[in-house]
Structure 1
């Protein structure tokens, strides 16, 4: 975990609280809150990537969160969740800067972390700023509607209710110059949208009558363009700062403590409804399953295999193992070739997960193919046993008139016969990937019993 230098108690330098892989910086957090008062206002910001979240927080609270350089393109600046203290704000205020949603770097792979971090923001912060562009008001994904719905559902299922209401403060960027929509109309639209999201959210029996206003305060601020209307933007930010701080002056207790923050993140991270496999992983799982099913069907209907399977019912098929292995290897190779594309299309973060999916589906395919092979394999063992026993009886009967009891006993111990059986199995019935030693051992024991029975009959005669 990274920590930017200098004293965090006195300045704006930030600490990585949770990295992009969801690891909580426990030691860094302990250092961060050491000596802090019991009651600390906490303000977090979430919203789309490259929407100016870090810039807004730096202007509001004098922090130094990393910001995007527009000259180098629109890309992810904040990874994970960063925490800082506002250096010139009284009372002391803690601010959290969250990784942006809808980023191209992670794309569909980021949905679980988006939901987890948004829920964490609501759980730990007194005020959650939802930063968005004016042009995104009324849209679906850009306005974070699916994200808010998922977070509301999880919050209800986890019963994550604070004695204090959390304020959801929508900050609409570039709203006073890019459209002709009045600020009051934008505010009305947003409040109607979030009420609708809440109404559509399934609620457990104990919360059927819970209203949005029972849990949240919803506020809206419209800001002018940061670059083209800088004077207006600065005045509006100053006013917003006063509004945010004044709301938090009467806090009876802080939401932020080491035990609650770490425990809360662990609960959220392990919550099944939020830990949904990302799109790329789900797609890879589905397609690998389809490819494996297709190759199994091709193996099952392969003409060479059908001939081997049918012949093995009545006689020993020479090179049964080698022929079967060759046919199965063909379809495993085709599976590997077609499923490999998913690894090349995924991010480094998800490469291992997709590779695990490929491997798992390949193993399932192999096991199902071996299940098809198993009856023919057992027939082959039985043919080897029968031929070995027939060969033994022929040799034994030729030697029988001159054999003593000791010689009969020695032959019937079967060491040479067992070796002959093992060699035949190795030559004809070795199937790759199969672990059928117990089956071969069972047939071998049957062969030995039959040999001894034949010898005993000779001694009785």
Structure 2
């Protein structure tokens, strides 16, 4: 894109409307810093890699007061700004350097050449207007939906509840909240470019699931703990009635199935999270308890025979 710039400087005039009490001297450096960041991000030929913005552009900033609050001052400022445009090709005006000025009789040909340059240089390609609008608006809708979800009282109650215990019906309820949030996005974004709104919907869904995942993991942790404690109590009683081997086999199967039912109840329909790692941890805990009980029983038997 740099090769399209002529050696003469182009003036970029930024007009700030409805100036507040903040002095222009404080606002202008912030604006210039943002412009510099944009310039730094522009791909440049090697010869112009370190060329400063000031080599090509003369950046100017003006501020206008509020029309509603200071009408007379606003009109005066606008009049002064108008004069700057009307006298733009005069020495010191906005255009200043007149080497690029084209006579009116050559405007048609000049315009054709502009269009030729634009068509031949892909660097100047811009996304379709509807795509740009869709991108900005769909992102805004997405941010709004994330904020709405995090502020939802039902979600906050579930998020707090799973910190201390397993919550039945978690998956179904959270799925419903997510579905409602995504449906609202779909309704508000329906008339925007399909490709953009679909892409931003995926991003929204991903952000929502990132918010939900810690609660889901906490829920599985409580489910594992509850299942293990229930197994220990049941197994210790079953050993006395059914014998060690049968009790170990049957109790393990029963409580792993209970974990499966609990994790299924926690399943969120919008995502396929795998609870197998938590289940594997439960298996190891169950096996460790079985081994511990076996060792205790053997120790008791040995003590009995020694007596």
What TM-score comes out, normalization by structure 1 length? 0.39
Which residues in structure 2 correspond to 1:96-245 (within 5 Å)? none
Map 1:245-394 to 2 at 5 A.
268-269=121-122, 271=123, 274-342=124-192, 354-394=193-233
Higher strand share: 1
C-alpha change, 1:358 and 1:222, in structure 2 (3 Å) is: closer
Match of 1:71?
none
Number of aligned residue pairs: give it: 204
Query: Which of the pair has the greater relative contact order for Cα pairs under 8 Å at 6+ separation?
Result: 2
What's the secondary structure of 2:204's corresponding residue?
A: helix
- The Cα of 1:417 is off from its aligned counterpart by 3.1
Instruction: Give the Cα separation in 2 of the matches to 1:430 and 1:323.
Output: 10
Q: Which of 276, 293, 299 is matched with 1:441 structurally?
A: 276
Give the CA deviation at 1:157.
6.0
SS of match in other structure, 2:126: coil
**Deviation string for 1:184-230 (max 9, x for gaps)?**
xxxxxxxx9xxx99x79xxxxxxxxxx87xxxx9995699xxxxxxx
Q: Offset at 1:395?
A: 1.6
Counterpart of 1:455? 290
Gaps of 5+ in 2: 5-41, 48-88, 109-117, 297-307
**Equivalent residue, structure 2, for 1:430:** 267
1:383 Cα deviation after fit: 1.6
Q: Structure 1 residue 406: deviation in Å?
A: 4.0
Q: Name the TM-score, length of structure 2 as normaliser.
A: 0.57
| Matching of residues 84-99 of structure 1 within 5 Å | none
Tell whether the 8 Å contact from 2:175 to 2:270 is kept in structure 1 after alignment. Answer: no
Who is 1:417 aligned against? 255
Post-superposition shift, 1:301? 0.5
Q: 1:222 to 1:443 in 2, by over 3 A?
A: closer
C-alpha separation between the residues in 2 aligned to 1:222 and 1:284? 35
CA contact under 8 A between 1:339 and 1:358: conserved in structure 2?
yes
Q: As a proportion of its length, which structure holds more helix?
A: 2
Q: Secondary structure at the match of 1:433?
A: coil
Q: Does the 8 Å contact 2:145/2:181 carry over to 1?
A: yes
Q: Counterparts of 1:332 and 1:222 in 2: how far apart (Å)?
A: 52
User: Cα–Cα, structure 1 residues 266 and 424, in superposed 2: closer, same or farther, change >3 Å?
Assistant: farther
Contact 1:315 1:383 in 2 (8 A): yes
CA contact (8 A) 1:408 1:455 kept: no
Secondary structure at 2:268 match in 1 = coil
Deviation string 1:22-59 (CA, Å, 9 cap, x unpaired) is xxxxxxxxxxxxxxxxxxxxxxxxxxxxxxxxxxxxxx
